[in-house]
Amino acid sequence: MERGSPAAAGADSGEEGTLAHLVDDPSSRKQFLRMVGGAGAAGAFATLVSACGAREQPIGVTQAAPDDGVVGEFGPGDVGIVNFALTLEYLEEDFYDQVIKSDKVKDRALLKLIKDVYENEFEHARALERVVEQIGRPVRRPKVDFDKVLAGGESKILATSAEVENLGASAYLGQAARVVDRQILASALAIHTVEARHAAAFNEMAGNGFSGDDQLIGSFPDGPFAKPQTMKEVMKEAKKFLPEGIPKLESPGA
Protein backbone atom coordinates (compact mmCIF):
# COMPACT_ATOMS: atom_id res chain seq x y z
CA MET A 1 0.00 0.00 0.00
CA GLU A 2 1.35 3.41 -0.93
CA ARG A 3 1.96 5.92 1.81
CA GLY A 4 -0.10 8.61 0.10
CA SER A 5 -3.23 6.52 -0.47
CA PRO A 6 -6.44 7.21 1.54
CA ALA A 7 -6.24 3.77 3.10
CA ALA A 8 -2.70 4.42 4.25
CA ALA A 9 -3.74 7.77 5.65
CA GLY A 10 -6.54 6.08 7.54
CA ALA A 11 -4.17 3.51 8.95
CA ASP A 12 -1.77 6.22 10.07
CA SER A 13 -4.61 8.12 11.68
CA GLY A 14 -5.72 5.00 13.55
CA GLU A 15 -2.22 4.32 14.84
CA GLU A 16 -1.81 7.92 15.97
CA GLY A 17 -5.20 7.78 17.67
CA THR A 18 -4.21 4.68 19.60
CA LEU A 19 -0.95 6.22 20.71
CA ALA A 20 -2.66 9.47 21.64
CA HIS A 21 -5.21 7.57 23.72
CA LEU A 22 -2.45 5.71 25.52
CA VAL A 23 -0.65 8.96 26.26
CA ASP A 24 -3.70 11.04 27.18
CA ASP A 25 -5.64 8.53 29.27
CA PRO A 26 -4.02 8.01 32.69
CA SER A 27 -5.74 4.66 33.31
CA SER A 28 -4.57 3.22 29.97
CA ARG A 29 -1.03 4.51 30.55
CA LYS A 30 -0.99 3.02 34.07
CA GLN A 31 -2.08 -0.36 32.69
CA PHE A 32 0.60 -0.20 29.97
CA LEU A 33 3.39 0.56 32.45
CA ARG A 34 2.17 -2.14 34.82
CA MET A 35 2.16 -4.77 32.05
CA VAL A 36 5.56 -3.86 30.61
CA GLY A 37 7.31 -2.57 33.72
CA GLY A 38 10.90 -1.51 34.30
CA ALA A 39 13.12 1.43 33.45
CA GLY A 40 13.42 0.19 29.87
CA ALA A 41 9.67 0.45 29.44
CA ALA A 42 9.69 4.02 30.70
CA GLY A 43 12.44 4.96 28.26
CA ALA A 44 10.58 3.35 25.38
CA PHE A 45 7.38 5.11 26.41
CA ALA A 46 9.20 8.45 26.48
CA THR A 47 10.26 7.86 22.88
CA LEU A 48 6.68 6.97 21.98
CA VAL A 49 5.38 10.13 23.64
CA SER A 50 7.84 12.32 21.76
CA ALA A 51 6.83 10.70 18.49
CA CYS A 52 3.19 11.57 19.12
CA GLY A 53 4.02 15.24 18.68
CA ALA A 54 2.64 18.31 20.44
CA ARG A 55 -0.75 18.11 22.10
CA GLU A 56 -3.57 20.50 21.26
CA GLN A 57 -3.99 21.64 24.87
CA PRO A 58 -1.53 24.24 26.19
CA ILE A 59 1.29 22.90 28.32
CA GLY A 60 0.24 22.29 31.90
CA VAL A 61 -3.51 21.95 31.25
CA THR A 62 -4.70 18.95 33.21
CA GLN A 63 -7.66 16.64 33.47
CA ALA A 64 -8.92 14.36 36.21
CA ALA A 65 -6.30 11.79 37.17
CA PRO A 66 -5.75 9.28 39.98
CA ASP A 67 -4.88 11.21 43.14
CA ASP A 68 -4.00 8.40 45.55
CA GLY A 69 -1.02 9.41 47.63
CA VAL A 70 -0.91 12.98 46.30
CA VAL A 71 0.74 15.69 48.42
CA GLY A 72 -1.45 18.74 47.95
CA GLU A 73 1.20 21.23 49.07
CA PHE A 74 2.94 20.89 45.71
CA GLY A 75 -0.08 22.19 43.80
CA PRO A 76 -2.69 20.62 41.49
CA GLY A 77 -2.25 18.41 38.44
CA ASP A 78 0.88 18.63 36.34
CA VAL A 79 2.08 21.69 38.27
CA GLY A 80 2.12 19.66 41.48
CA ILE A 81 3.89 16.76 39.81
CA VAL A 82 6.64 19.01 38.43
CA ASN A 83 7.05 20.74 41.81
CA PHE A 84 7.28 17.33 43.50
CA ALA A 85 9.97 16.23 41.05
CA LEU A 86 11.77 19.56 41.40
CA THR A 87 11.88 19.18 45.18
CA LEU A 88 13.59 15.82 44.80
CA GLU A 89 16.03 17.22 42.26
CA TYR A 90 16.89 20.07 44.64
CA LEU A 91 17.49 17.51 47.39
CA GLU A 92 19.78 15.42 45.18
CA GLU A 93 21.59 18.44 43.77
CA ASP A 94 22.28 19.89 47.22
CA PHE A 95 23.34 16.51 48.58
CA TYR A 96 26.01 15.93 45.95
CA ASP A 97 27.12 19.54 46.13
CA GLN A 98 27.69 19.19 49.88
CA VAL A 99 29.47 15.87 49.42
CA ILE A 100 31.87 17.31 46.86
CA LYS A 101 32.62 20.36 49.00
CA SER A 102 33.09 18.26 52.15
CA ASP A 103 36.13 16.45 50.73
CA LYS A 104 34.95 13.30 52.53
CA VAL A 105 35.19 11.05 49.47
CA LYS A 106 38.73 9.90 48.72
CA ASP A 107 38.01 7.07 46.32
CA ARG A 108 38.62 8.50 42.85
CA ALA A 109 36.07 6.37 41.04
CA LEU A 110 33.32 7.21 43.53
CA LEU A 111 34.17 10.91 43.50
CA LYS A 112 34.04 10.99 39.70
CA LEU A 113 30.66 9.26 39.73
CA ILE A 114 29.32 11.72 42.30
CA LYS A 115 30.54 14.68 40.26
CA ASP A 116 28.99 13.27 37.08
CA VAL A 117 25.68 12.60 38.81
CA TYR A 118 25.74 16.08 40.35
CA GLU A 119 25.98 17.58 36.85
CA ASN A 120 22.96 15.53 35.77
CA GLU A 121 20.91 16.58 38.80
CA PHE A 122 21.87 20.21 38.25
CA GLU A 123 20.55 20.03 34.69
CA HIS A 124 17.39 18.22 35.79
CA ALA A 125 16.62 20.94 38.32
CA ARG A 126 17.18 23.77 35.83
CA ALA A 127 14.96 22.05 33.26
CA LEU A 128 12.13 21.51 35.75
CA GLU A 129 12.43 25.11 36.93
CA ARG A 130 11.85 26.30 33.39
CA VAL A 131 8.81 24.06 33.02
CA VAL A 132 7.09 25.02 36.27
CA GLU A 133 7.70 28.73 35.67
CA GLN A 134 5.60 28.38 32.51
CA ILE A 135 2.68 26.57 34.07
CA GLY A 136 2.26 27.74 37.67
CA ARG A 137 3.85 28.65 40.99
CA PRO A 138 7.22 26.96 41.53
CA VAL A 139 8.16 25.32 44.78
CA ARG A 140 10.85 26.93 46.90
CA ARG A 141 14.20 25.22 47.28
CA PRO A 142 13.93 23.22 50.50
CA LYS A 143 16.34 23.38 53.39
CA VAL A 144 18.27 20.10 53.55
CA ASP A 145 20.29 18.43 56.28
CA PHE A 146 22.88 15.79 55.38
CA ASP A 147 25.15 16.36 58.39
CA LYS A 148 24.72 12.81 59.71
CA VAL A 149 25.43 11.36 56.29
CA LEU A 150 28.59 13.40 55.86
CA ALA A 151 29.72 12.51 59.39
CA GLY A 152 29.39 8.85 58.47
CA GLY A 153 32.14 9.22 55.91
CA GLU A 154 32.58 7.66 52.50
CA SER A 155 30.64 4.44 53.16
CA LYS A 156 27.59 6.29 54.48
CA ILE A 157 27.72 8.74 51.56
CA LEU A 158 27.77 5.87 49.06
CA ALA A 159 24.91 4.04 50.77
CA THR A 160 22.81 7.22 50.87
CA SER A 161 23.55 7.99 47.22
CA ALA A 162 22.25 4.56 46.22
CA GLU A 163 19.15 5.03 48.38
CA VAL A 164 18.37 8.55 47.15
CA GLU A 165 18.68 7.56 43.50
CA ASN A 166 16.41 4.54 43.89
CA LEU A 167 13.93 6.83 45.63
CA GLY A 168 14.08 9.29 42.73
CA ALA A 169 13.54 6.57 40.13
CA SER A 170 10.50 5.16 41.94
CA ALA A 171 9.14 8.68 42.43
CA TYR A 172 9.16 9.51 38.72
CA LEU A 173 7.66 6.14 37.83
CA GLY A 174 4.94 6.72 40.40
CA GLN A 175 3.76 9.87 38.62
CA ALA A 176 3.87 8.51 35.05
CA ALA A 177 0.21 7.51 35.10
CA ARG A 178 -0.85 10.95 36.38
CA VAL A 179 0.92 13.35 34.01
CA VAL A 180 -1.40 14.73 31.34
CA ASP A 181 0.79 16.94 29.18
CA ARG A 182 2.80 14.91 26.67
CA GLN A 183 5.86 17.14 26.75
CA ILE A 184 6.04 16.98 30.54
CA LEU A 185 5.50 13.21 30.46
CA ALA A 186 8.30 12.70 27.94
CA SER A 187 10.68 14.82 30.01
CA ALA A 188 9.75 13.06 33.25
CA LEU A 189 10.27 9.60 31.81
CA ALA A 190 13.58 10.63 30.26
CA ILE A 191 14.75 11.83 33.69
CA HIS A 192 13.39 8.66 35.32
CA THR A 193 15.61 6.54 33.09
CA VAL A 194 18.70 8.53 34.09
CA GLU A 195 17.80 8.31 37.78
CA ALA A 196 17.52 4.52 37.45
CA ARG A 197 20.96 4.38 35.84
CA HIS A 198 22.40 6.52 38.65
CA ALA A 199 20.87 4.11 41.16
CA ALA A 200 22.33 1.08 39.41
CA ALA A 201 25.81 2.64 39.30
CA PHE A 202 25.83 3.57 43.00
CA ASN A 203 24.36 0.23 44.10
CA GLU A 204 26.90 -1.70 42.07
CA MET A 205 29.73 0.33 43.58
CA ALA A 206 28.28 -0.25 47.05
CA GLY A 207 28.18 -4.00 46.44
CA ASN A 208 24.43 -4.18 46.97
CA GLY A 209 23.85 -6.59 44.10
CA PHE A 210 20.63 -6.78 42.15
CA SER A 211 18.31 -6.60 45.15
CA GLY A 212 18.40 -5.73 48.83
CA ASP A 213 16.24 -5.77 51.92
CA ASP A 214 13.82 -3.13 50.67
CA GLN A 215 12.75 -1.09 47.66
CA LEU A 216 15.57 1.43 48.01
CA ILE A 217 18.48 -1.00 48.05
CA GLY A 218 19.95 -2.81 45.04
CA SER A 219 20.52 -2.18 41.34
CA PHE A 220 17.15 -3.81 40.60
CA PRO A 221 15.44 -3.61 43.99
CA ASP A 222 12.05 -4.72 42.66
CA GLY A 223 13.28 -7.46 40.35
CA PRO A 224 12.27 -7.45 36.66
CA PHE A 225 9.33 -5.06 37.15
CA ALA A 226 9.92 -1.68 38.79
CA LYS A 227 7.45 -0.65 41.49
CA PRO A 228 6.37 2.99 41.66
CA GLN A 229 5.90 4.98 44.85
CA THR A 230 3.30 7.65 45.55
CA MET A 231 4.18 11.21 46.51
CA LYS A 232 3.35 10.48 50.15
CA GLU A 233 5.52 7.37 50.22
CA VAL A 234 8.45 9.21 48.65
CA MET A 235 8.16 12.23 50.91
CA LYS A 236 8.00 9.99 53.98
CA GLU A 237 11.49 8.77 53.04
CA ALA A 238 12.76 12.18 51.93
CA LYS A 239 11.63 14.04 55.05
CA LYS A 240 14.55 12.73 57.08
CA PHE A 241 16.70 15.05 54.96
CA LEU A 242 14.19 17.94 55.08
CA PRO A 243 14.26 19.48 58.58
CA GLU A 244 11.56 22.03 57.71
CA GLY A 245 9.36 19.54 55.87
CA ILE A 246 7.76 20.07 52.50
CA PRO A 247 8.72 23.47 51.07
CA LYS A 248 6.13 26.12 50.32
CA LEU A 249 5.33 27.51 46.88
CA GLU A 250 6.71 30.82 45.76
CA SER A 251 4.43 33.83 46.34
CA PRO A 252 2.33 34.80 43.30
CA GLY A 253 4.30 37.13 41.08
CA ALA A 254 7.60 36.31 42.80
pLDDT in tens, 66-107: 456 788 899 999 999 999 999 999 999 999 999 999 999 999
pLDDT at position 214 = 56
pLDDT at position 38 = 45
Assign 50 to helix, strand or coil: helix
pLDDT at position 56 = 41
Reported as type and span, the H/E element at residue 231 is: helix 231-238
Q: Is the pLDDT at 39 greater than 80, yes or no?
A: no
What is the pLDDT averaged over residues 41-66?
Answer: 44
- Non-local CB neighbours of 112 within 8 Å, separated by 6+ positions: none
pLDDT at position 208 = 82
pLDDT at position 216 = 57
- pLDDT class of 20 with cuts at 50, 70, 90: very low
CA distance 48 to 213: 34
What is the pLDDT averaged over residues 94-123?
Answer: 98
pLDDT at position 48 = 45
What is the pLDDT averaged over residues 117-126?
Answer: 98
What is the chain's length? 254
CA distance 92 to 97: 8
pLDDT at position 227 = 79
CATH code linked to domain 6-241: 1.20.1260.10
pLDDT at position 198 = 95
pLDDT digits (tens, 9 = 90+) for 152-203: 999 999 999 999 999 999 999 999 989 999 999 999 999 999 999 999 999 9
- Are 83 and 74 within 8 A, CB to CB? yes
pLDDT digits (tens, 9 = 90+) for 190-200: 999 999 999 99
Instruction: Identify residue 214 by its one-letter amino acid code.
Output: D
pLDDT at position 62 = 39
Q: Is the pLDDT at 226 greater than 90, yes or no?
A: no
- pLDDT class of 12 with cuts at 50, 70, 90: very low
pLDDT at position 145 = 98
- Non-local CB neighbours of 123 within 8 Å, separated by 6+ positions: none
Q: Is the pLDDT at 234 greater than 80, yes or no?
A: yes
Assign 211 to helix, strand or coil: coil
Break the chain into its structural domains and give their ranges.
6-241
pLDDT at position 54 = 41
Q: Is the pLDDT at 55 greater than 80, yes or no?
A: no
Higher-scoring residue by pLDDT: 63, 140: 140
